[in-house]
Amino acid sequence: MSDAVRSGALAIITGAASGIGAALADEAKQAGMALLLSDIDEGKLKAKAAALGADYMVCNVAEPGDVERLANRAASIGVPIGAVFANAGVMKTAPLTKTSPEDWAFMISVNLTGMANMVRSFVPLMTEQETASRFIATSSVAGLVSAPLTGAYNATKHGVVAICETLFQELRKNAPHVGVSVICPGAVQTDILNLEKYGMGEAPSARSEALAKLMAEKGLSAQELAEKVFIELKKGKFWIFPQNYVFDRFEARYQAIINGYGAEWLSKSKADG
C-alpha cells in the first residue's frame, strides 16, 4: 500500500494542460490532493488550473533552470509532496533513416533530458521530507517494445524505463519512503499527434495515420487511463500497464532475447499499432 497519492499532499504534474497530464490532474484533485500544474502551453495551462483551482507554473521540462524553479515553487507551497508526475512528452514518427537531427533533439530534449531534469530537481526534495512520496514517470509501451517508424520515440521511452529502474534501485536503501512508478500506456486518445502546437507540422505518414486510427478506435480515454493509474498507484506498483494487451508483445520480445533472434513486430496482434 502506498500513501503517496493521499489527500492533503501535493501533486506536481508536467504536461498537465492536455491529455494524460490533464486527466491525472483531475484524478489527483478527486483524491483530495493539492495541485501544482505545469506545461509549456500557458493558455491551456491557465485554463486547466483555473478549472481545478490549482496552482500552476509554465515550465519547459527540457530546461534545467525551469525545472529547478518548478521544484522551488513546489517546496515553497508548504505542503508535503505526495506525487511527482513527470509526464510531459512528445512524439514524431518517421523511419530512422529519415529522422532528422532536429527531430532527434526535439524528442531527446523533452522525453529524456526532461526526465533527467525532473529527477535531479525533485528527488532530493522528496528524499529530505520524512513523509512518503512517489516519482511517477510516463513512459509508454514503446519503452519496452520497439514498433517500426517510431525509432527515436522508442529510444527515448526505453530511456525513461531505464531511468526509473535505476532510480528505484538507488532509492531502495537510502530513501525507501520515496517510491518510483513507470506508466507504460498503449494507445490513449490525446493530442499527441498534433505537432503544429510545437510549430512542427508533420505531413501525415503511414505510421501517424495508423496511430491516429488506433487511438480513435481502440485507445483508452485519458480519463479512463488516469483512473487505472491511480488504482495501481494506491497499491504501490512500480510497473503500471493500463492496457494488458501489451503483455503478448513483451513475451514475444523476451522470447526473442532468449533465442537470440530479432523480434518481429506483432502487427497482427489484438492491438495493432
Interface contacts to ligand NAD, rule CB under 6 A: 14-15, 17-21, 39-41, 59-62, 87-91, 110, 114, 138, 140, 185, 187-188, 190-192, 215
For residue 189, give the 3-state DSSP assignment: strand
Distance CA 209, CA 108 (A): 23
User: Least distance in Å: CB of 260 to ligand NAD?
Assistant: 29
Q: Which three cell numbers stand for residue 109?
A: 530534449
Residue 41 phi/psi, 5° resolution? Answer: -90, 95
User: Least distance in Å: CB of 180 to ligand NAD?
Assistant: 16
- For residues 6 and 69, which CB has a smaller minimum distance to ligand NAD in the complex? 69
- For residues 132 and 160, which CB has a smaller minimum distance to ligand NAD in the complex? 160
User: Least distance in Å: CB of 182 to ligand NAD?
Assistant: 11
Q: Which three cell numbers stand for residue 159?
A: 530511456
**Look-up: residue for cell 510497473?**
239
User: Least distance in Å: CB of 229 to ligand NAD?
Assistant: 11
- For residues 88 and 132, which CB has a smaller minimum distance to ligand NAD in the complex? 88
Distance CA 106, CA 117 (A): 15
- For residues 172 and 231, which CB has a smaller minimum distance to ligand NAD in the complex? 231
> Residues near 253 by Cβ (< 8 Å), separated by ≥ 6?
144, 145, 263
Distance CA 118, CA 205 (A): 32
- For residues 10 and 187, which CB has a smaller minimum distance to ligand NAD in the complex? 187
Q: How much is the CA Rg of the chain, to the nearest whole Å?
A: 18
- For residues 2 and 87, which CB has a smaller minimum distance to ligand NAD in the complex? 87
Q: Give the ranges where the chain is alpha helix by DSSP (H).
A: 19-30, 42-52, 64-76, 101-107, 114-128, 151-174, 206-218, 222-234, 247-259
User: Least distance in Å: CB of 63 to ligand NAD?
Assistant: 8
Distance CA 172, CA 127 (A): 11
User: Least distance in Å: CB of 10 to ligand NAD?
Assistant: 18
H/E segment holding residue 40: none
User: Least distance in Å: CB of 14 to ligand NAD?
Assistant: 5
- For residues 31 and 85, which CB has a smaller minimum distance to ligand NAD in the complex? 85
Q: If you count DSSP H runs as helices and E runs as strands, how many of each does the chain have, helices first?
A: 9, 9
